[in-house]
Chains A and B, each alone.
Chain A
């Protein structure tokens, strides 16, 4: 069963492979091709052809040959300039990328270093340079200089091509060369020891205006390959190898992670607690804790009003207060119906409160409102109070405020 399938497949490939041989050739001559037996003969032949002044010719050998460039009179390739230009582009793009990412788009202080500095940017710059240089060299060589892909060259699927890709050496002089004349070329080939001369004709399709790159067969094969690769990649990565972790030596280290269990400590917690009496920055203990709010009335806001303080207050208010109190302090926050509705911050009671009173409530909590002393730092609490005062004033703006705003 399997062997029959394989045979069928081989036959299909063979048939497909020889299909082009049957493709009709036109009467228009592409060039004359000569076959030689030995590498020495082909080197001399190439030198002869170049020496006679032919320009549109090419040599085909089964393997790269030293000395062929000189024999053919080829100038050194210009691909280096393409590589250099693209290399410089890669260098500049990589530097620009690093600069933009680290000092414009996503500023992040790492190890006390400046946002952008040259030393850490150099490896990426180097890689960017190498990447674009490599791409430029390969594709510049293939596309610009070798003019590949030539999927429809008249030489494809000729007997000549089959010979020079296995054991013979060949040279082709194109018919559109200025010096081309059938008898002269044949004489030249024979004098160099060619054992066979073939006439290569254009295919019918070569003469049409159809660009081979838009060939339906070619495009459909490319698409089929892309889709097949995508499917195989998807199945491999998401199904077959889903549970396989390729590198886990950073993930699984011989250490206890925070929030995890550990039998080492008596309380079975992996994370250590701070030493008794530790005070975090910005979280100084509140000296009126638990006292009646009348005693804190005289506390005044230590922060001066500025745009920066108000923006900080707004940000913190929106994070910690707005879920219940609402964005404008009207008690219509996103937690309504799930949590008791707090009174509006614009009622007369709060309007009459001193800043110290509000501070006392944020720090100690009131009724169902919990204390925010753990979450919001002292400075942020005062910034929130400034913001609350701003909200209140916006609801009760005087005529003077409105004229000022204009």
Chain B
């Protein structure tokens, strides 16, 4: 294909830097005003960025693994978004200083008086926690660099052997992704309430990561293609699979979320129900019911007709909706531990959200400045461009 690289308009960079800057200022203020709340907000933002970064890397691996061709023209978008992973390795460091504020199980006096925590202590202790986080980051970074290196090398060499190598890598990463994302969810979010039991929690977060990764990729794909940065041969029908996958993972999330809720409801045992009761206290009750509508029912009804999956305007709006819904979902998972009586949303939370979105845009812009927006050397690109919906 004839692809000419164009630089992104300066407004993207300005918007990214602007959000990043305002967000950073608000973050620093938040830490100065209320450190513990700021750490919870920080964890919230961090988990959101993990969803996008690692989820996007999983999308790249998924494409190789299943031999998908429709997504090849858009794969660079997910690769750029996966570049958040190296940034995450830096962003995680402040969280280690906030562990005392975040995790009650790190307090030695809690451990002494809590037989249940003592029984979990062989897993839930600070040293092993840090080791786990370090191992997970080694895995993520290694696969990130391998995938990106192969993909970028292929732009020049056009060597199909690189695709074959990436397929093998993605088979390994598929397993490691599931394990690492589950462990991340359990360590950073479930351990906030270390008395709680749920075997669904890892897959619950996994559903959310792919939910938001598809949405962000769809947003960038539509916006870039509408403005002529990808290929003239890409039409609205090429977006269909983005819409379909957003829809599918929306249902998958609801399925997992409901399965977790129903098992707790049915068994009705105190070590499980208290987690739900926390989320039914005061204004949290409205927040929890709102989650069902914001995260599932409304997007489900909007994305249900086939025509809405190929409408670019609607897709970008729904992508923004999905991003906000994922923020909503993570807020619901993390914040009840801090705001016990009802949810609070102030300038502090807004600052962390702005920082996260600014970071995503900035990382994307920096990567897009150097690299082709379309993997021009990929052997599957041609059939991706030839995609027909019917």
Contacts and interface: CB of A to CB of B under 8 A. Distances in A.
A and B, one complex?
yes
Contact of B266 (A76, A84, A111): A111
Nearest to B305: A80
B266 A119 contact: yes
A19 interface: no
A120 interface: yes
A122 B307 contact: no
Contacts of B261: 119
Given A67-B388, A69-B390, A70-B390, A122 B306 contact: no
Interface residues on B, range: 10 to 19
Interface residues on A, range: 10 to 19
Nearest to A83: B304
A289 B117 CA distance: 56
Contacts of B262: 119-120, 122-123
A84 B390 contact: no
B306 A76 contact: yes
A111 B390 CA distance: 51
Contacts of B305: 80
Nearest to B267: A111
A76 B308 CA distance: 12
Interface string A52-88: 0000000000000011111000001000100010000
A70 B389 CA distance: 10
B271 interface: no
Nearest to B264: A119
A68 B389 CA distance: 10
B258 interface: yes
A80 B306 contact: yes
A67 B262 CA distance: 44
A119 B265 contact: yes
Contacts of B266: 111, 119-120
B268 A66 contact: no
A111 B304 CA distance: 37
Given A70-B390, A119-B261, A122-B258, A111 B268 contact: yes
A84 B266 CA distance: 30
Contacts of B268: 111-113
Given A68-B390, A69-B390, A76 B307 contact: yes
Nearest to B387: A66
Nearest to B255: A126
A122 B260 CA distance: 13
A120 B266 CA distance: 8
Contacts of A68: 390
A95 to B, nearest CB: 15
Contacts of A84: 304
A84 B261 CA distance: 27
A122 B257 CA distance: 13
Contacts of A76: 306-307
B275 to A, nearest CB: 16
Contacts of A122: 258, 262
25 contacts: A66-B388, A66-B390, A67-B388, A67-B390, A68-B390, A69-B390, A70-B388, A70-B390, A76-B306, A76-B307, A80-B305, A80-B306, A111-B266, A111-B268, A112-B268, A113-B268, A119-B261, A119-B262, A119-B265, A119-B266, A120-B262, A120-B266, A122-B258, A122-B262, A123-B262
Given A66-B388, A119-B265, 7 more contacts: A66-B390, A68-B390, A69-B390, A70-B388, A80-B306, A111-B266, A111-B268
